[in-house]
Amino acid sequence: MDKLVIKEKEHVKEIKERMTKAGTIELTLLLRNDSYRGFDKRVDLRINVLKEAQRAPVEYDEEDLQAAKAPSLMQ
């Protein structure tokens, strides 16, 4: 739940959620106005979540590997 302060005619809100599996997800957004009755809005959404792309493993060079093994300032 987020409180939005909207000062313009249009407001964009980004929803960040990590989806765990591919497929269709159904969401319900409920917008409620705390000042006026009857301004509430309910929006039902269907989102198609795609399968996560496989990423290539990161290759580290020898200098980076040695730097990771060296003691840090905290040690």
Domain ranges of the chain: 20-52
For 25, the enclosing helix (H) or strand (E) is strand 23-31
Residue-wise pLDDT tens digits, 13-39: 777 777 778 899 898 988 888 888 888
Q: How far apart are CA 55 and CA 64, in angstroms?
A: 20
75 pLDDT band, cuts 50/70/90, is low
Distances in whole angstroms, Cα of residue 31 to Cα of each of 1, 11, 25, 46: 10, 12, 19, 17
pTM attached to this predicted model:
0.47
Locate 71 and state its tokens.
Answer: 């003691």
